[in-house]
Amino acid sequence: MTTEEFQDQAEETVRSLPETAKMVIMQPTAFFQTMPRSGGFFSPLIFMLVMSVIYAVIATVVSVISFGWLGMASIFTLILTPIFAIIGVFITAAIVCVIWMMMGSKEKFEASFRIVCYCAAIWPIGAVLGLIPYVGVAAWLIWGIWLTILASVHIHQIAQKTATVVFGIIGLVLLLLTLGGQYASQQSMQQLEDLQGQFEGLDPNNPEDAAKMLEKMMELQQQQQEQQQ
C-alpha cells in the first residue's frame, strides 16, 4: 500500500469514526453482526488511537477535578496513553484470540484484533465514569465484558451461554483485582494527605523537625505492616 493510500484510508477512518463509535456504543449487536473479519490492521488501529487520545484528555480533566491540580502524572498520561494503548491492544487481542480458539472459534488473530480496537469506543465514557469511585470502574469493566460476549457470539460463532460463563468468570476476577487496586490506591492517597498534614509547619532543615518527620514516617510504616498482618 502506498503512502497516499495509507493517508486516504486514515482520513476515511477518521471521518467515519463518530458513526462507528456510536454504533459500537448504541447498537453493539448490529455492529458485530456486520463487522468485517478482515480488511487490514490499519483502520481499526487508527480508530483505537483516536479513542485513546480522547480517553487521555478526559482522564486528565478528571484528574484535575479530583485532585485540583495538573501534576506530572497527568501530563505523562496524555503522552504515554496512546503508546501503551498500541502495545496493550496487541497483547489483549492475542490473549482473547487464544481463549476464543480454545472455545472453538475458527477466526484468525485479525478478527480478534479488530474487536479489541473497536471496543475502545467505550474508553472515553469509561474515563468519565472514573469520577464515580468503584461504581464507575465496575460499570466500565462490565460493559467491556458484555461487548466481548456479543463479539464471541456474532463474530466467533460461540454459544452465548458458553461465552457468558467463560468471560463472566474472567470479568469477575478482573473486577475484584481492579476494585482492590483502586481501594489500595485511595488508601495510599489518603495516607499521603494525612502525612502532609502532619508535616505542615515542620522544617526539614531543622534537626528537631527532621527527627519528628522521621518518627512520624516510621509510625506510619509500622501501622501499614500491622494492617497487612
* Interval 110-138: pLDDT, tens: 999 999 999 999 999 988 887 787 788 88
Q: What is the mean pLDDT of residues 173-177?
A: 90
**Do 64 and 127 form a contact (C-beta atoms < 8 A)?**
no
Residue 57 DSSP code: H
Percent with pLDDT over 90 in the chain = 47
Q: Which helix (H) or strand (E) holds 188?
A: helix 160-199
Q: Are 32 and 154 in contact (CB under 8 A)?
A: yes
In this model, does residue 195 exceed pLDDT 70? no
Q: Check pLDDT > 90 for residue 61.
A: no
Quick one: cell of 88? 496493550
**C-alpha distance across the termini of the chain, in Å:** 60
CA-CA distance, 34 to 179, in Å (whole number)? Answer: 34
Structure confidence at residue 33 as a pLDDT band (50, 70, 90): very high
Task: Please tell me the predicted confidence (pLDDT) of residue 128.
Answer: 87
pLDDT of residue 2 exceeding 60: yes
| pLDDT class of 223 with cuts at 50, 70, 90 | low
Query: Is 216 a residue whose pLDDT tops 90?
Result: no
- How much is the mean pLDDT over the chain? 82
0.85 cut: is pTM over it?
no
Give the residue with greater pLDDT, 194 vs 181. Answer: 181
Distance, in Å, from the CA atom of 144 to the CA atom of 148, rounded to the nearest integer, reads 6
- CA neighbor of 149 nearest in space, from 32, 41, 52, 34: 32
Q: What is the 8-class DSSP label of residue 69?
A: S
Q: How confident is the model at residue 154 (pLDDT cuts 50, 70, 90)?
A: very high
Q: Give whole-number Cα distances, 52 to 44, 45, 123, 130, in Å.
A: 12, 10, 7, 15
Interatomic CA distance for residues 101 and 7, integer angstroms? 34
